[in-house]
Amino acid sequence: MTTGILFIIMAGIFSGTFALPFKFNKGWMWENNWLIWSFTALLVAPWVAALLTIPELFTVLQNESGCLYLVTLFGLIWGIGSIMFGKGLHILGISLALPIMQGLINSIGTIMPVIFKDPAKLLAPSGIKLLAGVSVIIFGIILYSIAGSRKEKNLQNNTTQIHKSHSNFKKGLLICILAGIFGPMINFAFVFGKPLQEQAIATGASTVFSANAIWCIVLTAGFVINALECIRLFHRNSSRKCYKIHTGRSMTFAILGGTLWYFSIMFYGMGSNSIGEMGTSIGWAIMQSTAIIAGNVAGIAAGEWKGADRNSIIPMIAGLALLIIGIIVIAY
């Protein structure tokens, strides 16, 4: 179990920091980064990993066609959430958007698998502990939202700027909430995609890597949604020409972001399978909470909270403390 938790903590670190390379792509718009990220993280990496680790991949997929359709549906819905996730990071920054989105994804993705599989477990000691940990995390999200609102108001000097900043914060907050609702669909795909893992193991795949049979399908479905949105924005913003700016360097950073993110989901699958029956709930909670902490540290290091006053910093620190407490409650 210790090895599984270490895998999941690594997943959280990668998930919390994958967007950091985008900050170095000054000449690119959101859609330029996101299309390369999507191609790397959602299409190339999942299929390469699956082909390398699942001996009879296409036989597995063919034998579980019913499960395949359900996983694909979850992937399409998750694809909408991943677009919102990327835009939330773009509008509010890593250190503010990530805690809100990951916290909601954490809460929904942790509790719902238990409700779907065996709701009676929520009344058992382990279920009560799970609910308590999620409640603490939600309070942490609320404090982060308060801190972010105060920071935005504090950093503006005149009425026009305040109104514009507050409007951007409200728009960003709404996008983050939607990302938090749709984001857990990838964990639902993992839960309901168990037959694919079982088939993969039966044909010779290692239990640790069996989740790759799920990721290649759910992430490909997500890629379709993300790619269509990026293409729409290319037409609207005439931003395809941005690929001529710092092409080699920017492409490298965008690919790095996609690679880091895919490692996060791959390590989550490996760790969750190592934990056992409650892996999809406990593992999900640990990964998302670790991602919040890692993203917050990365955002602070990148200067996203520079200039914030004490009234913003105090609820931010309190929110971070609650998230850490939530992790401890759920994990132990």
Q: Which of 200, 270, 247, 243 is nearest to 29 (CA)?
A: 243
Give me the mean pLDDT over the 169-180 stretch: 86
Mean pLDDT of the chain: 85
Whether 158 has a pLDDT exceeding 70, the answer reads no
Q: Does pTM top 0.75 for this prediction?
A: yes
Q: What is the 3-state secondary structure (H, E, C) of 168-184?
A: HHHHHHHHHHHHHHHCC
Whether 301 has a pLDDT exceeding 50, the answer reads yes
**Residue of 277 and 58 predicted with greater confidence:** 58
**Residue of 293 and 52 predicted with greater confidence:** 52
Return the SS3 of 68: helix
**Residue of 302 and 172 predicted with greater confidence:** 172
What pLDDT does 162 receive?
Answer: 46
What pLDDT does 325 receive?
Answer: 85
What pLDDT does 277 receive?
Answer: 61
How many CB atoms are located within 10 Å of the residue 198 CB? 16
Q: Which bin fits 139, alpha (ψ -120 to 50), beta or left (φ > 0)?
A: alpha
Domain boundaries, the chain: 2-331
Identify the band that residue 276 occupies on the pLDDT scale cut at 50, 70 and 90: low
Whether 205 has a pLDDT exceeding 80, the answer reads yes
Q: Which of 270, 313, 260 is nearest to 291 (CA)?
A: 260
**Residue of 94 and 24 predicted with greater confidence:** 24
pLDDT digits (tens, 9 = 90+) for 278-294: 556 677 777 877 887 88
Whether 299 has a pLDDT exceeding 60, the answer reads yes
